[in-house]
């Protein structure tokens, strides 16, 4: 996205809830995906959002912060996830999907309000990918 921002291009992210992982259905301590969820189907179909790709400490840390933020704000986790994405620099609009009216209504609850700076920072920090060498060295030196 830094290249897009530099060039004045907007980004329209697809699947802002990461195939259901950020939908509010998943919490630390779960041992298997929710029955009937997209994540369960992804495992059997070998899609990228499958359980075996995301059942790790990074995912659970992101979900911990997401759920904590949602509870503190009195919002649904999906609304916080979409709101976080919408407020990121360079994002024009996310492409949301829903299987039913209830999911659509929940997702639409992400508009008309703002995440505060502290919530944005916590979500940014929790979701930051681990950088491989030598990108990690460059990132550390860029902040000096």
Q: What φ, ψ does residue 90 adopt, rounded to 5°?
A: 90, -10
Q: What is the pTM of this model?
A: 0.89
In this structure, are residues 109 and 75 in contact, taking their beta carbons and an 8 Å threshold? yes
Among residues 15, 140, 126, the alpha carbon closest in space to that of 60 is found at 126
How much is the pLDDT for 97?
87
| Residue 111 predicted with pLDDT over 90 | yes
Question: Average per-residue pLDDT in the chain?
Answer: 94
**Which DSSP state fits 111?**
S
Cα end-to-end distance, the chain, whole Å: 22
């Amino acid at each position: 996205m830094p290249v897009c921002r530099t060039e004045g291009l907007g980004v329209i992210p697809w699947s802002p809830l990461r195939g259901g992982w950020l939908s509010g259905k998943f919490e630390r301590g779960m041992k298997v995906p929710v029955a009937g969820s997209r994540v369960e189907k992804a495992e059997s179909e070998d899609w990228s959002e499958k359980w075996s790709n995301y059942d790790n400490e990074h995912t659970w840390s992101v979900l911990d912060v997401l759920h904590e933020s949602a509870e503190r704000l009195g919002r649904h986790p999906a609304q916080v996830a979409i709101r976080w994405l919408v407020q990121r620099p360079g994002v024009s609009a996310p492409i949301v999907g829903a299987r039913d009216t209830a999911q659509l209504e929940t997702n639409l609850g992400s508009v008309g309000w703002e995440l505060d700076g502290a919530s944005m920072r916590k979500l940014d920090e929790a979701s930051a990918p681990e950088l491989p060498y030598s990108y990690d060295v460059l990132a550390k030196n860029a902040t000096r």
